[in-house]
Amino acid sequence: MMNKDIKSYFPILDQEVNGHKLVYLDSAATSQKPIQVIEAMKHYYEFDNSNVHRGVHTLGNRATDKYEGAREKVRNFINATSTQEIIFTRGTTTALNTVASSYGRANVAEGDEIVITHMEHHSNIIPWQQLAKEKNATLKYIELEADGTLNLEKVRATITPKTKIVSVSMASNVLGTINPIKEIAQIAHANGAVMVADGAQAAPHMKIDVQDLDVDFLGFSGHKMCGPTGIGVLYGKKEHLEKMEPIEFGGEMIDFVGLYDSTWKELPWKFEGGTPIIAGAVGLGAAIDFLTEIGLDNIAEHEHKLAGYAMNQLETIDGLKIFGPRDPMKRCGLVTFNLDDVHPHDVATVLDMNGIAVRAGHHCAQPLMKCLQQVATARASFYLYNTEEDIDRLVAGLRSAKEYFGDVF
Amino acid sequence: MSFNNLDQLYRSVIMDHYKNPRNKGSIEEDAVTIDMNNPTCGDRIHLTLKVTDGIVEDAKFDGEGCSISMSSASMMTQLIKGKKVEEALELAEIFSKMMMGEDYSEKYDLEDVEALQGVSQFPARIKCATLAWKAMEKGVKQ
């Protein structure tokens, strides 16, 4: 099923931008949505919309069934043991902040350590910075190798018995590097720390098995995996979630409310205060069905191929530098690069005039940009709907950028 | 491939300022210093202004950024040098209107800055062009 026809499921891709057929190479920022997801959300609003967990009426039951049905799909998608371990959030950022605010505040004390890496997205840096400041704890960074990968020896050297939390991205949104989460989790556990995985760039592209990885927490976003914006997931081991305090209080999450004291619902609802993101969950469920039908392994293979093809083609352009590991098997489907003498914003504008959408900037990873000694970079990211022809268009666009800026100089 | 659309944005005068920036550097003595960045893209400007008796006597800039942000800084320093503070602020307002695609006063000769008019057609790049001007406004008010 991994062929050109996949594009036909994505209505948005069938349009011209600035007089050229759209080539969308910014899926690492947000993916496009297949018709199946759009229809599922439309159907929900047209037939089932109601609030969940409270109505006696039929629509209320239907909405609840769909919402909780989506939770089961997520459980199955990441192979969690129970739906009690699946909390719907606004996205990866909320998931990571929940871990930092709830588990972190209760378990990190003065002098303790939190360990992250130099390749993290701001959403996996700042919650830990804030926690470290509040608790007088130390935030430590695992250094990267020259090719943008992690070396397990350096991981072992950074994590110590003082470490309480280790939080690492499963795949880097800039370098594309796929990190050895299972091995890092073992090192964290051997030192008595919990392992948090930022799955924002991994969940759309590869099979995740939380039991096999043995991570304590995992966060990911629906909108990067063909689902809608505004919905994401926090997975947590039940043994942790049971002991954790909610961070949002109000409707939906309570059991008994008195004048001066209240008790919480059981898992997972105690973490879902307020009317939940029902249509978003329905959309995410449809996205999971779509991805599962195609097969995550097929998607991963397709992206490794595209990454390899892209790197080979990009390297034929004089003065183009690629960041991150050269081995396409070590990275997810994205390539970050810079073109000599042409600033990435100018590159992105030239490409946009050719109908090609890429991202330019610091990609919410300012500390990593510092490591790479770059102010900004350009990034082309691929998903299941991209083809080698898209990459050929990118390469032609970059050549024209070079020609244009070469001419005027 | 046709470059007509791009030419609206990247006129040769812009490229000339990018490649050969005017007033590049830093004023060492008696200067107002402003550092500003564009957090969404990482562009950064370090602007120094020497203001004596209400007149912008000298202006220099340093920084990192795309062709639009750096050429705009170069043109801006060129234009405001020798102008009164009030005039510089008025020019900043005129420039802001130009970027929004609104009508603006033709009281001043905008010199090379005119070339940036096309930026208003590229909403994503307006912030690049206005960075230096925002820094200048902040600086002369100090």
> Domain containing B107 — which CATH number?
3.90.1010.10
How high is the pLDDT of residue A3?
Answer: 54
Predicted local distance difference test score (pLDDT) of residue A407: 55
Say whether residue A336 is in contact with chain B using an 8 A CB cutoff.
no
Mind listing the pLDDT tens digit for each residue in B116-134? Answer: 998 998 888 899 999 999 9
Asked if pLDDT for residue B1 goes beyond 50, the answer is no
Lowest mean pLDDT among A10-14, A125-129, A288-292, B5-9: B5-9
Q: What's chain A's average pLDDT?
A: 95
Question: Which pLDDT score, from 0 to 100, does residue B2 have?
Answer: 56
Helix, strand or coil for residue B42?
A: coil
Q: How far is B42 from chain A (nearest CA, A)?
A: 6
CB proximity under 8 Å: B 25-44 to A: 40-44
A55 close contact with B: CB closer than 8 A: no
Is B123 touching A (CB cutoff 8 A)?
Answer: no
Asked if B41 and A354 come within 8 Å (Cβ–Cβ), the reply is: no
Which residue range(s) make up the domain with B105? 4-141
Supply the residues of A annotated as catalytic.
364
- Kindly state the average pLDDT of the residues A142-160: 97
Distance CA A203, CA A91 (A): 12
Contact, B41 vs B49, CB < 8 A? no
Task: Answer yes or no: do A408 and B6 touch at CB < 8 A.
Answer: no
Quote the percentage of chain A above a pLDDT of 90.
90
HEC per residue, chain A = CCCHHHHHHCHHHCCEECCEECEECECCCCCCCCHHHHHHHHHHHHHHCCCCCCCCCHHHHHHHHHHHHHHHHHHHHHCCCCHHHEEEECCHHHHHHHHHHHHHHHHCCCCCEEEEECCCCHHHCHHHHHHHHHHCCEEEEECCCCCCCCCHHHHHHHCCCCEEEEEEECECCCCCEECCHHHHHHHHHHCCCEEEEECCCCCCCCCCCHHHHCCCEEEEECHHHCCCCCCEEEEECHHHHHHCCCCCCCCCCEEEECCCCEEECCCCHHHCCCCCCHHHHHHHHHHHHHHHHHCHHHHHHHHHHHHHHHHHHHCCCCCEEEECCCCHHHECCEEEEEECCECHHHHHHHHHHCCEECEEECCCCHHHHHHCCCCCEEEEECCCCCCHHHHHHHHHHHHHHHHHHHHHC
- Interface probe, candidates B2, B3, B8, chain A, greatest A C-beta count within 10 A: B3
pLDDT tens, residue by residue, A8-49 = 999 999 999 999 999 999 999 999 999 999 999 999 999 999
> For A79-106, b where at least 16 C-beta lie within 10 A, e where not — what string?
ebeebbbbbbbbbbbbbbbbbbbbbbee
The answer, yes or no, to whether the previous bond of A268 is cis (omega within 30 of 0) is yes
- Side-chain half-sphere exposure of A387, counting CA atoms within 13 A: 13
Counting Cβ atoms within 10 Å, is residue A133 exposed (0-12), middle (13-18) or buried (19+)?
Answer: exposed
What pLDDT is attached to residue A409? 43
B58-108 pLDDT per residue, tens:
999 999 999 999 999 999 999 999 999 999 999 999 999 999 999 999 999
Quote the pLDDT of residue B3: 67
| Contact: A349, B9; criterion CB under 8 Å | yes
- Whether ipTM > 0.85 holds is no
Give CA–CA dist B32/B29, Å, rounded. Answer: 9
d(CA A23, CA A236): 37
Task: Select the residue of A18, A349, A408 nearest B15 (Cβ to Cβ).
Answer: A408
Mean pLDDT, residues A370-377: 88
Report whether A17 contacts A348 (CB < 8 A).
no
What is the distance in angstroms between the Cα of A173 and the nearest Cα belonging to chain B?
16
What is the chain B residue with the closest CA to A369?
Answer: B42
Q: Which pLDDT score, from 0 to 100, does residue A54 have?
A: 77
The verdict on B103 touching A (C-beta cutoff 8 Å) is no
Q: Flag if B67 and A343 touch (Cβ within 8 Å).
A: yes
Nearest to A167 by CA among A100, A106, A213, A101: A100
Confidence of residue A4 (pLDDT cuts 50, 70, 90): low
Domain boundaries, chain A: 4-32+296-408, 38-292
Alpha carbons within 13 A on the beta-carbon side of A248: 19
B-chain residues within 8 Å CB-CB of A361? 40-42
Which CATH superfamily hosts domain A4-32+296-408?
A: Aspartate Aminotransferase, domain 1 (3.90.1150.10)
A343 touches chain B (CB under 8 A): yes
Question: What tokens appear for A117 in the block?
Answer: 């890496």
- The predicted pLDDT at position A190 comes to 98
Instruction: Report how far residue A147's alpha carbon sits from residue A167's, in angstroms, rounded to the nearest whole number.
Output: 21
How far from A111 is each of A104, A119, A165, A244, A289, CA to CA, in Å?
Answer: 14, 24, 13, 22, 45
CA–CA distance, A59 with A182 (Å, rounded to integer)? 43
CATH of domain A38-292: 3.40.640.10
From the list A362, A366, A409, the residue facing B15 with the nearest CB is A409
Give the model's pLDDT for residue A361.
Answer: 86
With CA atoms as reference, report the closest residue to A383 among A290, A289, A288, A302: A302
Question: What angle do the packed helices B67-80 and B12-19 form, to 10 degrees?
Answer: 90
Give the pLDDT confidence score for residue A174 in this predicted structure.
95
Distance separating alpha carbons of residues A91 and A281, to the nearest angstrom: 11
Tally of domains in chain B: 1
Q: Which of residues 47-76 of B touch A (CB under 8 A)?
A: 64-68
Question: Looking at residue A2, what is its pLDDT?
Answer: 53
